[in-house]
């Protein structure tokens, strides 16, 4: 997994690339959660994520829950087909903010 963060005002867009699995979930949290805790509106761009397993999904859920706690939002943008399939299988499309 690689990533790139672009901040504009109170919106931080995190462009994720590659595979999000058990090996990189801690790194993903280290990137996403501080932005959420800073009360930024976080947009996760997932168009270049080829694979996400359940540990990657747990990062999305944890980020979403933390955002609700601090009064901001995490939005999923340009979701790749493979990631969308996992989100739909887990029935999380009603829980997470898909854009």
- Mind listing the pLDDT tens digit for each residue in 36-68? 999 999 999 999 999 999 999 999 999 999 999
Looking at residue 3, its pLDDT comes to: 96
Q: Which residues lie below 8 Å from residue 38, measured CB to CB, with a gap of 6+?
A: none
Helical packing angle, 81-89 and 54-70, nearest 10°: 80
Domain containing 17 equals: 2-98
Confidence of residue 21 (pLDDT cuts 50, 70, 90): very high
Centroid of chain to Cα 75: 7
Q: What percent of the chain has pLDDT over 90?
A: 98
Single pTM value for the model = 0.95
- Dmax (CA) for the chain in angstroms is 34
Looking at residue 24, its pLDDT comes to: 96
Looking at residue 47, its pLDDT comes to: 98
Number of domains composing the chain: 1
Q: CATH code at 85? A: 3.30.750.24
């Amino acid at each position: 997994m690689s990533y790139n963060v672009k901040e504009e005002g109170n919106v931080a867009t995190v462009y994720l690339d590659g595979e999000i699995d058990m090996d990189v979930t801690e790194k993903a949290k280290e990137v996403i959660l501080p932005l959420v805790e800073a009360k930024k509106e976080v947009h996760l761009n997932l168009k270049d994520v080829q694979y996400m397993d359940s540990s990657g999904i747990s990062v999305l859920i944890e980020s979403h829950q933390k955002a609700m706690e601090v009064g901001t939002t995490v939005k999923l943008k340009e979701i790749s087909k493979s990631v969308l399939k996992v989100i739909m299988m887990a029935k999380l499309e009603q829980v997470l903010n898909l854009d």
